[in-house]
Amino acid sequence: MKLRKTLFGMAMGLIVSVTAIALPMPGEQNVAHAAWTQAKADKVIATGKKYLGTPYKFGASTKTTAVFDCSSFTQRVFRVAVGKSLPRTSRDQAKKGISVSKANLKKGDLVFFKASTTTTSKRITHVAIYAGNNKLLHTYGKPGVTFTSFRGTSWEKRFVSARRVL
């Protein structure tokens, strides 16, 4: 009888210990962020590619895929590709995820830009998705949704920050 009680006590102690490790403490939910994976990044880029050539329209509605502005494009792509909700504006999107240096960009990272190469202001006016291999996937002006080169271009000179939201 004493052995049974001892074994029962040990089993209960083990269960409580494992539960305490596996379950978050109250108030700690949603603290950890999902880790970046190649599969998620590839899905983001593949989803964005489906919209190549879609015209640009400043202030485009989030309810349409007939036109995009830069942030409605990134918002749509991340929601459709990986179920990630992003804020509506590029400035608000720049507050999400974790900061990433230009040297450590990975496919799927959001890249943020200022208005021109000559301004000293760091005010964010544009967002793009880093597509890997020195390419940005984004929408602006006449080309609409397109791929453009990043390093060695005016885009690099306008770089303000980057965030990893995957």
Query: Which of 60, 70, 145, 166 is the catalytic position?
Result: 70
Query: Which of 40, 76, 114, 126 is the catalytic position?
Result: 126
Tell me the DSSP string of 65-115: SSSB-HHHHHHHHHHHHH-----SSHHHHTTSSEE--GGG--TT-EEEE-S
Tell me the C-alpha distance between 166 and 163, whole Å.
Answer: 9
Q: How many alpha carbons fall within 13 Å on the CB side of residue 156? A: 10
Tell me the C-alpha distance between 64 and 46, whole Å.
Answer: 19
The question of whether 126 is a catalytic residue gets the answer yes
The question of whether 70 is a catalytic residue gets the answer yes
Cβ of 67: how many Cβ atoms within 10 Å?
Answer: 18
Query: Which of 43, 76, 138, 158 is the catalytic position?
Result: 138
The question of whether 62 is a catalytic residue gets the answer no
Supply angle C-alpha 10, 12, 17, rounded to 5.
Answer: 95
Catalytically active residues, by annotation: 70, 126, 138
